[in-house]
Amino acid sequence: MLSDRRQRVLAALIEEYVARALPVGSRTLTERYHLGVSPATVRNELSVLEDGGYITQPHTSAGRIPTDHGYRAFVDNLLETDLMADDARYRPVVDELRQSASELDALLEQTSSALMRLTDCLSIVLAPSVLNLHIKQLSLISLIPTRALVVLVTEDGQVFNRQMEFGEEVSSEDLARVQHFLSDVFAGKTLHEIEDGLGQGMIEAFRDPLVRMVLDEVLSCLQESELSRAHRLGVSSLLTKPEFSQSQALLPVMQVLEDETVLLHILDDAAAESGPTVRIGRENEAAQLAGVSVVANRYGRGESAGVVAVIGPTRMDYSKVIRAVRIASAALEDV
């Protein structure tokens, strides 16, 4: 546990390094920050912080920069205080987002855009997991005798649709029969429960080729939607950071984030807890993310909750990013 004075010195060093991306010396801290102690005391505290692994000196003649351990101590201290408490300045942002989008997809996209503007980092908003959403309605609409539209509505208001082709003509009466059966069996169930084949009558009905075909389309539609949950913006913002001025430095990060399966695992895992979760540098499970930090927060309730996240260099403004993630989560809380 750091003393209050050492926490202030560390916070000042991190603030300076975040702002300028240059090693910080004791003279800079003494001249620019009101630490209330002498330059000699500042130098001594920096030596103690370095010995403790909170900061490091990249070159013998240079100042110090924070380590992942130093950022962790700084962030833990931030998280002990409620950054959103009584902060009415951000209420209009939340209200504007909710009023400007009538559909969930539009709200997620606009929230991601607002998050990118607030943080100047890569922003990602994950829709609630389709696998855990309860189905409210299933409709089969005949387009032509050999083609139909499958429309699925979940209890939280999301709509999924998919066209399907038949090898031979299918009457409207047969479609209505299949729709009636599947609607009764699947209403109120999740994809997991559907795949488990709950209900004795369902097993017998699966022998009907048309029922099986429609079921396969429903499952494929939901599974594809699960892999396209992410609304992300701001890759260009990362390229403006000194850490990623060389595009090859960002390449490993982007390779991980472009793999939807890996991305969903990273963010779902990072936001498993209530409240903001911050993974700094090598705390990230994926080795390719050792140079970035992930700040994530759940929104919604239960197993179908979504995730709001920001990914940026470990030299990010954690106070601003944590606050922005909370704002975005608040805007999506009741969707």
**Which pLDDT tens digit goes with each residue over 292-302?**
999 999 887 76
User: pTM for the full model?
Assistant: 0.80
Please tell me the predicted confidence (pLDDT) of residue 23: 94
Please tell me the predicted confidence (pLDDT) of residue 99: 67
Q: Which residues contact 276 (CB under 8 A, 6 or more apart)?
A: 79, 295, 296, 297, 322, 325, 326
* DSSP character string of 181-196: HHHHHHTT--HHHHHT
CA distance 14 to 24: 9
Please tell me the predicted confidence (pLDDT) of residue 190: 78
Chain mean pLDDT for the chain: 84
Please tell me the predicted confidence (pLDDT) of residue 86: 47
Please tell me the predicted confidence (pLDDT) of residue 70: 97
Q: Which of 183, 185, 219 is nearest to 202 (CA)?
A: 185
pLDDT above 90 as % of the chain: 38
Low pLDDT (below 50) residues in the chain: 86, 198, 200
Domains and CATH numbers, the chain: 4-79 (1.10.10.10), 88-129+229-332 (3.30.450.40), 131-226 (3.30.390.60)
CA max distance for the chain:
88
As beta bridge partners, residue 139 has 151
